């Protein structure tokens, strides 16, 4: 029995759906505008125009690490004091900025007008602006609006609202046709890996949302099976179901076990037996197990806590506990969608301290009392905890890094081994 199989077997003995503790209180969250950083890299013919403040512009530039000479496909239409005071015609100014952007970037086929906290506070109606601008530039540019405000959401929901805004634009699938729709932004290299597996299994046609070209939106309808690649797309999943699509229940493709279960869910929908899935994935699984072996030596027995931030907490906790031998002290997530997490919850220990929501002071008190080996948290909490001698991992790094699939399993584990190695070196 391999090391991964042994860890899975040990974890399975304690599995069951854990009770969920719900907390409400002061929250510490990152802005949904961060989603633009990975969305603009994925959708190659789109431009993201944020209607916000100078703070929004600085956040985007800092998060993306954009050099001064770069030509990013995002920008900020900055609201001035006159705009905020209602003394200026914001729509007239927005029209001017949009005209400048499209004149400078004639290659853009889809323009996203992105709402922010400032634009929502002054009740700027971007949906009407998008409708008006679509008429002006009809046939050349599709104009879509969505909100990435951080007032009531966590940062990964920026992608959810973006994809949700695209669903009504998707064409209807032809009668009698069927297809698989993989939903959630993936790095191109990971997407290509998954496409090869689907092709070898005889599953297809396979489409991705978001697509690499927003002008080539995939079809959707009664013949569409939806497989989520990211766990923070609740509203997009609901909207696709309203369009007639069927949502497949599966763990998320993180680690060996999650990726196998994810592929098997698609195979089941196409009537492909488990033996064929194992045959097609055998070489990739073997590579992943070899890569995980060294990281497991560093992680096995280490204790980890998750503070709520990215909504990736549950599937990553499952991977670390079952395949890397880590002990889960507490797993907290901003929102827990039981429909999307059904397959994941059954793989967690039944006695797990699982928390939905956040009361940041109470959760920090528990971290200080538990003193785990690693705490996964947002940027704003990491440095204070490090100053108290607690090792941390930034949760936003898990969204920016390629972590899905077999070939990325060892890289995902290494993200958590790295703070332990660094901590050991500092103690020498």
Are 309 and 395 in contact, with CB atoms under 8 Å apart?
A: yes
∠ at Cα 355 (351, 358), nearest 5°? 160
- The two three-digit tokens of residue 36, written as one number: 């633009």
Of 47, 74, 51, the closest CA to residue 142 belongs to: 47
Name the strand (E) or helix (H) holding 255.
helix 255-269
Helix (H, G, I), strand (E, B) or coil at 334: coil
Distance of CA 184 to the CA centre of its chain: 7
Neighbours of 104 (CB within 10 A): 12
* Spatial distance between the Cα atoms of 46 and 137, rounded to a whole number of angstroms: 14
- For residue 306, what is the DSSP state? E
* Spatial distance between the Cα atoms of 97 and 109, rounded to a whole number of angstroms: 16
- For residue 220, what is the DSSP state? B
∠ at Cα 113 (110, 116), nearest 5°? 150
Are 11 and 317 in contact, with CB atoms under 8 Å apart?
A: no
- The two three-digit tokens of residue 12, written as one number: 């399975």
- The two three-digit tokens of residue 166, written as one number: 């695209």
User: Please, how many CA atoms are within 13 Å of residue 177, restricted to the half-sphere of its CB?
Assistant: 14
- The two three-digit tokens of residue 376, written as one number: 């996964």
Between helix 54-64 and helix 35-42 the angle, nearest 10°, is 60
* Spatial distance between the Cα atoms of 101 and 82, rounded to a whole number of angstroms: 22
* Bond preceding residue 205 cis, omega within 30 of 0: yes
- What contacts 217, CB < 8 A, 6 or more positions away? 166, 169, 170, 171, 209, 211
Binding-site residues for [4Fe-4S] cluster: 31, 56, 117
- The two three-digit tokens of residue 229, written as one number: 């690649």
Are 249 and 210 in contact, with CB atoms under 8 Å apart?
A: no
Are 52 and 76 in contact, with CB atoms under 8 Å apart?
A: yes
Of 399, 398, 412, 343, the closest CA to residue 158 belongs to: 399
Binding-site residues: 31, 56, 117
């Amino acid at each position: 029995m391999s090391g991964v199989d042994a860890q899975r077997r040990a974890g399975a003995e304690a599995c069951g759906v854990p009770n969920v503790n719900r907390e409400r209180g002061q929250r510490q969250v990152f802005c949904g505008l961060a989603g633009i950083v990975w969305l603009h890299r994925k959708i190659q013919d789109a431009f993201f125009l944020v209607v916000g403040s100078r703070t929004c512009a600085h956040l985007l530039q800092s998060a993306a690490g954009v050099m001064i000479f770069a030509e990013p496909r995002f920008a900020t239409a900055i609201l001035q004091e006159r705009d905020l005071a209602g003394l200026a015609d914001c729509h007239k100014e927005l029209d001017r900025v949009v005209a400048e952007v499209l004149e400078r970037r004639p290659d853009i086929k889809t323009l996203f007008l992105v709402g922010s906290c400032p634009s929502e506070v002054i009740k700027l109606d971007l949906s009407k602006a998008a409708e008006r601008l679509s008429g002006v530039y009809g046939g050349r540019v599709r104009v879509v609006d969505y909100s990435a405000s951080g007032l009531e959401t966590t940062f990964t929901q920026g992608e959810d609202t973006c994809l949700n805004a695209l669903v009504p634009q998707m064409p209807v699938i032809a009668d009698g046709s069927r297809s698989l729709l993989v939903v959630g932004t993936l790095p191109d290299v990971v997407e290509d890996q998954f496409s090869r597996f689907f092709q070898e299994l005889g599953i297809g046609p396979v489409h991705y949302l978001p697509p690499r070209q927003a002008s080539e939106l995939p079809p959707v309808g009664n013949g569409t099976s939806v497989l989520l690649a990211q766990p923070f797309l609740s509203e997009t999943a609901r909207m696709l179901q309203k369009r007639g699509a069927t949502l497949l229940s599966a763990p998320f493709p993180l680690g060996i076990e999650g990726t196998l279960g994810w592929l098997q869910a698609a195979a089941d929908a196409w009537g492909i037996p488990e033996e064929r899935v194992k045959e097609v994935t055998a070489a990739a699984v073997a590579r992943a197990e070899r890569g995980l072996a060294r990281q497991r030596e560093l992680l096995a027995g280490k204790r980890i806590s998750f503070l709520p931030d990215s909504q990736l907490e549950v599937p990553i906790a499952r991977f670390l506990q079952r395949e890397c031998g880590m002990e889960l002290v507490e797993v907290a997530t901003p929102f827990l969608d039981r429909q999307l997490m059904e397959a994941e919850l059954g793989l967690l220990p039944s006695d797990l301290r699982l928390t939905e929501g956040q009361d940041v002071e109470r959760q920090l008190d528990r971290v200080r009392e538990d003193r785990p080996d690693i705490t996964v948290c947002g940027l704003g909490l990491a440095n204070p905890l490090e100053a108290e001698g607690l090792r941390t991992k930034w949760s936003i790094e898990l969204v920016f890094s390629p972590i899905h699939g077999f070939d990325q399993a060892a890289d995902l584990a290494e993200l958590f081994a790295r703070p332990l190695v660094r901590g050991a070196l500092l103690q020498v």
